[in-house]
Amino acid sequence: MNIQEKFAKPSTIDGFGYAPINVLVPPHKEIPPDYQGRAKFEQLQSKWFFKGLDEGEMPAAKPGIDEQMAMKHLYTVQNNREIKHEHKIAGVAWLMSMWFELPKS
């Protein structure tokens, strides 16, 4: 199973907001460096991390993706203290790019 297949859909997070980090995000070195829309999703991740997102700022979930499940998964990665910040930026942005559509601009 390749990395895109393994993380094609968000994971179920328990009621305490916990799941093992290796289930939530791949190792930093395995995150593809050239995925489409990277800069825009990294900007969105950064704003979310440092300032929070306003209502409606999160792009729409792609077909077949449970938006609430995806947001809980991303939130759990975003707030994880086990991984370095650079890994968190890349991981959240990459997962967002797989699960959400940026508006056409």
Contact 80, 18 (CB under 8 A): no
Residue 42 binned pLDDT confidence (cut-offs 50, 70, 90): confident
Residue for token digits 């991984």? 83
Confirm whether 23 is domain-assigned: no
Tally the domains of the chain: 1
pLDDT at residue 69, as a whole number: 92
pLDDT digits (tens, 9 = 90+) for 67-91: 999 989 998 998 888 889 888 888 9
Q: Are 66 and 3 in contact (CB under 8 A)?
A: no
| 85 within a domain of the structure (yes/no) | yes
Beta strand pairing call for 100-101 and 60-61: antiparallel
Residue 25 lies in a domain: no
What are the residues whose beta carbons fall under 8 Å from the beta carbon of 9, sequence distance 6 or more?
A: 64, 65, 66, 99
Q: Does residue 35 form part of some domain? A: no
DSSP code of residue 102: P
Q: Residue 37: inside a domain, yes or no?
A: no
Q: What is the mean pLDDT of the chain?
A: 85
Confidence of residue 95 (pLDDT cuts 50, 70, 90): very high
Of the pLDDT bands very low, low, confident and very high (cuts 50, 70, 90), residue 58 is: confident
In 3-state terms, what secondary structure has residue 61?
Answer: strand
In a domain, 94, yes or no: yes
